[in-house]
Amino acid sequence: MSKYVESNLRKDETIVQQAKVSMVAIVPKVIIGLLLCIIPYVGIFIGLLLIVVTFLELKSIELAVTSKRVMGHYGLVPQKVMDAPLNKVNTVSVEKGLLASIFGYGTVVITTSSGSYNLKYIKQPDQIRSAVMEQMDVFEEQRIKLQAEQLAKAIK
């Protein structure tokens, strides 16, 4: 379980789906970094820096769908945190390039009432999108059921 998600779960909240990050996504940047290492001194420094930053960037990505919200954390500098109740999520979409389609990863774009969040390098992004959409439906059904129960109590 990820550090951000684990430390921010609320009472009676469960994780429905946790995204995994594709390590295949860093291959192009690692290749470029290794090619830069051929150039003495500055090239080696820049190449190794590119590889390290790319790896750290991937390690910073966290995304989870819970029973109550969508939580995410990504980026080194600046860091971006998403913590959106399911009823505040407007859209969830998936973007995939050619390599992403071949290797099964993509960018999950979540738009909420407070902004848009692009979580890159997510494995099986369509499953995450589906999980968010399904959980939004469950959340709405529970909200309507609770309102109906409260209304029934008020009428009695």
Max distance between CA atoms of the chain, in angstroms, equals: 82
d(CA 154, CA 137): 26
Q: What is the pLDDT of residues 24-65, one digit of tens each?
A: 878 888 888 888 888 888 888 888 888 888 888 888 888 999
Strand partners for 82: 72
Q: What are phi and psi of 136, to 5 degrees?
A: -60, -40
Q: What is the pLDDT of residues 78-132, one digit of tens each?
A: 888 888 999 899 999 999 988 888 888 999 999 998 889 999 899 999 999 999 9
- Is beta strand 80-85 parallel, antiparallel or unpaired with respect to 89-95? unpaired
SS3 16: strand
Domain ranges in the chain are 3-21+61-155
Q: What is the pTM of this model?
A: 0.79
Residue range 3-21+61-155 forms a domain whose CATH class is: mainly beta
Count CA atoms closer than 13 A to 73's CA, side-chain side: 12
